[in-house]
Amino acid sequence: MRTLSLAALLLPAAAAAADFPDAAALKRLEAQYAPVDLRVDLSGLPSSERRVLGKLVEASRIVDALFLRQAWAGNEALLLQLSGDPGPLGRARLAYFLRNKGPWDRLDHARPFIPGVPPRPAAANFYPAGASRAEVEAWMKSLPEAERERAGGFFSVIRRDAAGKLAAVPYGLEYQGELAEAARLLREAAALTAAPTLRTFLEKRAEAFLGDDYRASDVAWMELDAAVEPTIGPYETYEDGWFGAKAAFEAFICLRDDAETSKLRRFSGELQDIEDHLPEDDALKNPRLGALAPIRVVNEIFAAGDGNHGVQTAAYNLPNDEWVVREKGSKRVMLKNVQEAKFRKVLLPIARRVLAPADRGRVAFDAFFTHILMHELVHGLGPHGINVQGRTTTVRQELTDVYAPLEEAKADVAGLFALQRLIDRGVVDRAMERTLYVTFLASAFRSLRFGIAEAHGLGMALQLEWLLDRGGVVARPDGTFAVADGKVKEAVTSLAREILAIQARGDRQAAKDLLERMAVLRPPVKAALERLRDVPVDVAPRFVTADELAPR
Ligand code: ZN
């Protein structure tokens, strides 16, 4: 699972244009992504590990090409054609094609921006051209169980054989040439590294590329403990619009952030104290918190394939294989420098438009990122397994469709509450109090830009309107917003108390009422969002360090 750190991918529908965009219009579309140089400091890294990184960047470039082929059968021919067009329109089309990894705009309901291409096929290139979803589904159902599992699994495509019959072709065969090359590079990297867990992962992943059994390498990925933190392989299934079954190739080549890692360790040691002091009944508190799912904070050197198109991934949870998750759990990887780029290029411009002048200088990346970390940790606190009228159940089961927006809002406000407690206890520097709430306010507008149709946006609307109602945030006559330092802490605590109580009772009706009453966008907020239309939506990274490590 992937977090883009944007509420949703669908922007308000752009003005309808029957025609295809010309060079100038394509430039405007491209300008939705603010260019940013992604650099990572490698000065602390031994030369062996730098050479490892170079090999991994090379392997990731192969992954990039594989993904392009997976996304649409026509992509490679179109790329060749666009690359041969040196005019301004051709260059603009090529740039936007590469941004979207295909001729359909990922920010605008897959609208085609190059003439002559079909509507985006939901089947991507995972199923045979000309087959229907119903035909493939009926065929899968007709298979004996073991074969059906393979045909419906992550790591095969469905093709027609010479006789026209459907057949599952494993990735190791379908992408044989490229995967052999990528496996060779991973093995060379494995031979170079001084880190044993990294060597194991790379060797096992190379084996998986050739033999299509990814489990041992997923386990090795969970056990990684090295400065170099690579994620490379077929993972997410969002591109498969038919069954959400086929994994797309992606790569994130990253370096562990040691300062953030030790901060995480420090925070983890405080979680029991935070749980013990949450604004809820003492009887509800969990006296013994369980072990946490591991979190890695890294800096991204290179991203490729499904990991680099449209809106950039800010964090991800892997693996997706349920067997591995059951046996070894899953790991959350947070891409700190990508978040920092988004902060600089998107959040700061938003802050300049919607915050009161006095508050603008109080927006800080450290507060932004530390709150995101705390949000993740705090998901583990508060009510989960509950008792409703003698029944043992879970908050998720009881709240069903309103669980997600409420849980996201809980993680945000309980995250603010938790950081305030760490500030008050001297675990976090007092200086963060000045930046924390103001930064959160700016980031609320960033989430709300994408509407309140899904959980994060809806949860954020609830929070902003609650803070406005309780006077923790003030809408000013000039249309900007300010944090009321004297009231914001109490407003945050009161919302945390409200949500935790609803969760503890498993009270779906109360959750619905709260969201219907509060998760709305009232006129001052709507007007502020209108003013953000031309602020970039996201960033377009240039991988400066990767290009130095592995010149093209
Ligand atoms: Zn969350």
Model confidence at 8, in pLDDT bands (50, 70, 90)? very low
Spatial contact of 79 and 97, defined as CB atoms under 8 Å apart:
yes
What is d(CA 231, CA 241) in angstroms, rounded to the nearest whole number?
Answer: 23
Spatial contact of 363 and 440, defined as CB atoms under 8 Å apart:
no
Model confidence at 456, in pLDDT bands (50, 70, 90)? confident
Spatial contact of 208 and 233, defined as CB atoms under 8 Å apart:
yes
Residue 415 has pLDDT above 90, yes or no: yes
CA 167 / ligand 1 centre spacing (Å): 40
Three-state SS for 331?
Answer: strand
Spatial contact of 531 and 354, defined as CB atoms under 8 Å apart:
yes
Q: Give the pair of three-digit tokens for residue 365.
A: 């990346």
CA 231 / ligand 1 centre spacing (Å): 22
Residue 16 has pLDDT above 90, yes or no: no
**Surrounding residues of ion ligand 1, Cβ less than 5 A:** 411
Residue 6 has pLDDT above 70, yes or no: no
For residue 417, give the H/E element and its range.
Answer: helix 403-424
CA 79 / ligand 1 centre spacing (Å): 37
Q: Which of 511, 515, 510, 500 is nearest to 384 (CA)?
A: 500
What is d(CA 450, CA 7) in angstroms, rounded to the nearest whole number?
Answer: 6
pLDDT, residue 18, reads 55
According to DSSP, residue 343 is labeled I
Instruction: Give the model confidence (pLDDT) of 79-93 as tens digits.
Output: 999 999 999 999 999
Q: What mean pLDDT is reported for the chain?
A: 94
The β-bridge relationship of strands 385-388 and 473-475 is: unpaired
Q: How far from the centroid of its chain's Cα atoms is residue 531's Cα?
A: 26
CA 375 / ligand 1 centre spacing (Å): 6
Model confidence at 144, in pLDDT bands (50, 70, 90)? very high
Q: Which of 21, 29, 101 is nearest to 538 (CA)?
A: 29
Spatial contact of 532 and 445, defined as CB atoms under 8 Å apart:
yes
Strand segments (E) across 161-248: 166-170, 228-234
CA 379 / ligand 1 centre spacing (Å): 7
Instruction: Give the model confidence (pLDDT) of 357-398 as tens digits.
Output: 999 999 999 999 999 999 999 999 999 999 999 999 999 999
For residue 404, give the H/E element and its range.
Answer: helix 403-424
Spatial contact of 195 and 48, defined as CB atoms under 8 Å apart:
no
CA 64 / ligand 1 centre spacing (Å): 29
Burial class (CB in 10 A: 0-12, 13-18, 19+), 516: exposed
According to DSSP, residue 321 is labeled -
Model confidence at 451, in pLDDT bands (50, 70, 90)? confident
Model confidence at 3, in pLDDT bands (50, 70, 90)? confident
CA 338 / ligand 1 centre spacing (Å): 18
CA 346 / ligand 1 centre spacing (Å): 20
Three-state SS for 79?
Answer: helix
pLDDT, residue 450, reads 79
The β-bridge relationship of strands 166-170 and 156-160 is: antiparallel
What is d(CA 332, CA 319) in angstroms, rounded to the nearest whole number?
Answer: 9
Burial 85-105 (b: 16+ CB within 10 A, else e): eeeeeebbbbbbbbbbbbbbb
CA 418 / ligand 1 centre spacing (Å): 15
pLDDT, residue 292, reads 78
DSSP for 102-132, please give it.
SSEETTTTTEE-STTPPSPPTTTTTS-TT--
Question: Packing angle between helix 365-378 and helix 258-268, nearest 10 degrees?
Answer: 50
CA 411 / ligand 1 centre spacing (Å): 6
What is d(CA 169, CA 187) in angstroms, rounded to the nearest whole number?
Answer: 25
Compute how many other C-beta atoms are within 10 angstroms of the C-beta atom of residue 329.
13
Residue 509 has pLDDT above 80, yes or no: yes
Residue 5 has pLDDT above 80, yes or no: no
DSSP for 469-483, please give it.
HTTSEEE-TTS-EEE
Q: What is the CA radius of gyration of the chain?
A: 24
For CA atoms 455, 458, 462, 465, give the dihedral sign: positive
Burial class (CB in 10 A: 0-12, 13-18, 19+), 290: exposed
Three-state SS for 431?
Answer: coil
CA 334 / ligand 1 centre spacing (Å): 12
Model confidence at 416, in pLDDT bands (50, 70, 90)? very high
CA 536 / ligand 1 centre spacing (Å): 23
CA 4 / ligand 1 centre spacing (Å): 12
Compute how many other C-beta atoms are within 10 angstroms of the C-beta atom of residue 235.
26
Instruction: Give the model confidence (pLDDT) of 145-186 as tens digits.
Output: 999 999 999 999 999 999 999 999 999 999 999 999 999 999
Q: Which of 493, 506, 490 is nearest to 280 (CA)?
A: 493
Strand segments (E) across 29-80: 33-37
Residue 406 identity: L
Q: Give the pair of three-digit tokens for residue 237.
A: 């299934």
Three-state SS for 334?
Answer: strand
CA 404 / ligand 1 centre spacing (Å): 9
Instruction: Give the model confidence (pLDDT) of 312-367 as tens digits.
Output: 999 999 999 989 988 999 999 999 999 999 999 999 999 999 999 999 999 999 99
Give residues with Cβ within 8 angstroms of 306, minimum separation 6: 67, 235, 236, 238, 239, 248, 249, 250
According to DSSP, residue 288 is labeled S
Tell me how far apart the 2 most distant CA atoms of the chain are, in Å.
Answer: 75
CA 73 / ligand 1 centre spacing (Å): 35
According to DSSP, residue 451 is labeled -
Residue 9 has pLDDT above 80, yes or no: no
What is d(CA 333, CA 331) in angstroms, rounded to the nearest whole number?
Answer: 6
Instruction: Give the model confidence (pLDDT) of 240-297 as tens digits.
Output: 999 999 999 999 999 999 999 889 989 999 999 999 999 999 988 999 888 778 899 9
CA 343 / ligand 1 centre spacing (Å): 18
Mean pLDDT, residues 515-519? 94
Mean pLDDT, residues 12-17? 43
- Phi (first) and psi of residue 301, to 5 degrees: -95, -40
Q: Give the pair of three-digit tokens for residue 34.
A: 């603010």
